[in-house]
Amino acid sequence: MRAALWLIGLFGMAVAAALFAGSNQGTVTLFWAPYRLDLSLNLAIAIIVLAFVLLYAALRALAALLQMPHQARRWRSQQKERAMHHSLLEALSHQQAGRFLRARKSALAALAMEESLAEAHAAVPHGTRLRAAAHMVAADASHALQDSPQRDHHWREVLANAPAQGNAQEQEMREGAQMRAARWALDDRDAADALRRLAELPQGAARRTIALRIRLKASRLAGQTSTALDTARLLAKHRAFSPAAAASVVRGLVLESINEARDTTQLQHFWLSLDGEERAMPEIALPAASRLMALGGEAAQARAWLLPVWERLLSHAGPRSESHLPRLVQVLEPCLDGLDGTWLARIEAATNSHPREPRLQYLAGMACVQRQLWGKAQQLLLRAAPHLQESALRTRAWQRLALMAEHRGDADAAAAAWKQAAQAVVMLPADPARP
């Protein structure tokens, strides 16, 4: 369509020129004493147009001639700029490929070219950010090469080219450098330095996933379990881990905090900081109750911690309950001191609901021993002992039966019970307490 319009326009111009020049009788006379020159108007117009074209072409040629030195300098600057960007891309490629020595050399080459451009007054507008990026690559490569002096030198150059009060891009570059420094400190097993560098980050940057990951590892390395636990929960909230991995990490840190408790007050304070779902997990409640008893805590408090686990395991039968029930019985047994009627009724109800579960029968027998119900205790323990799969429970059951037989004066029954206890895989010392 455009070509057709141009063609129509050319035809129109040709028709107009033919109509104007075909019947034009005008004359132009030039007087240059003592000469006189007569020209037709058409020729005069043609000469004027030709002269204008020649003058314009001459001026353009002169301008191009005068611009040649400038164009040459511009071309050389452009070639240097392309080589600078090429060197920086090479440095990034070598770094990703694990060729750290070549990566540092390429980064230094990019820095040298950028400095040359700046000295030639042809610096690129983004030269500051480019220098910071090149120094960052060189610092990272130096860290991989175990060259700490060079790494620190390039890292300081990054901070110099990315001021804290700069624009948004410079601030991001500075935050990235601080995170990398924290990662380097973590690689050097210097957890204190890693946490210090993370503390220097702005609040928004410190809550990013990569910063939280570094904080989690540094806190665990420094033994700051509480900080590591808070960080792991925040990472789980941001879905930085899969649900299974997040639960495993949080559970492991909770167990570390439980084991690190030095007194019952500290343990109870930490227990209250857990949410209801965590306190109902057997993987957490069982070690917590066991630690509480080891620290000399009250048995009633331990039983209160174990109650949600007891209700969950007995109301939801399955492989998970089967795996945690032996541990629950072992932890609950030392907590039977001062057993009240509510818990005794609860244990008896569980035994009646699961008549084929020897562990519950064993626990009920031990509970009857604590309440001095000797006949019922003997009946339950005799029923449970032969069927217990756990050697520790089986050994204690036979030991308790032997002690009860000795107390009754039944030497034959006591000897038989002691023999059964001796045949257990794991030999445990008998409880010195007598019924």
**Is the pLDDT assigned to residue 349 strictly greater than 90?**
no
Cα 195–Cα 196–Cα 201 angle in degrees, nearest 5: 95
Q: Please write the tens of the pLDDT for every residue from 369-398.
A: 888 888 888 888 888 888 888 888 888 888
pLDDT confidence tier of residue 54, bands split at 50, 70 and 90: very high
The SS3 call for residue 35 is strand
Q: What is the DSSP letter of 431?
A: P
The SS3 call for residue 40 is strand
Tokens of 84: 């600078």
Tokens of 291: 């630690």
**Is the pLDDT assigned to residue 411 strictly greater than 90?**
no
What's the length of the chain? 435
pLDDT confidence tier of residue 21, bands split at 50, 70 and 90: low
Q: What is the DSSP letter of 145?
A: T
Long-range contact set of residues 275-284: C-beta below 8 Å, sequence gap at least 24: 276/308, 278/250, 278/254, 279/305, 279/308, 280/308, 280/309, 280/312, 281/251, 281/309, 282/309, 282/312, 282/313, 282/320, 282/324, 282/327, 282/328, 283/251, 283/255, 283/324, 284/251, 284/254, 284/255, 284/258
Q: Please write the tens of the pLDDT for every residue from 291-341.
A: 998 888 888 898 889 888 888 887 776 666 677 888 888 888 888 887 777
* pLDDT for 22: 64
pLDDT confidence tier of residue 435, bands split at 50, 70 and 90: very low
**Locus of tokens 């409880």:** 431
Check: CATH 2.60.40 for 355-423? no
Q: Which of 333, 332, 331 is nearest to 397 (CA)?
A: 333
Q: Please write the tens of the pLDDT for every residue from 202-250.
A: 888 888 888 999 999 999 888 888 888 888 888 888 888 888 888 888 8
Give residue 424's Cα distance to chain centre: 48
pLDDT confidence tier of residue 19, bands split at 50, 70 and 90: low
> Do 219 and 211 form a contact (C-beta atoms < 8 A)?
no
Q: Please write the tens of the pLDDT for every residue from 76-97.
A: 888 888 999 999 999 999 999 9
Whole-number Å distance between alpha carbons of 214 and 211 = 5
Q: For the ranges 32-41, 129-138, 323-332, which has the lowest average pLDDT?
A: 32-41
pLDDT confidence tier of residue 185, bands split at 50, 70 and 90: very high
Q: What is the DSSP letter of 356?
A: T
* pLDDT for 429: 45
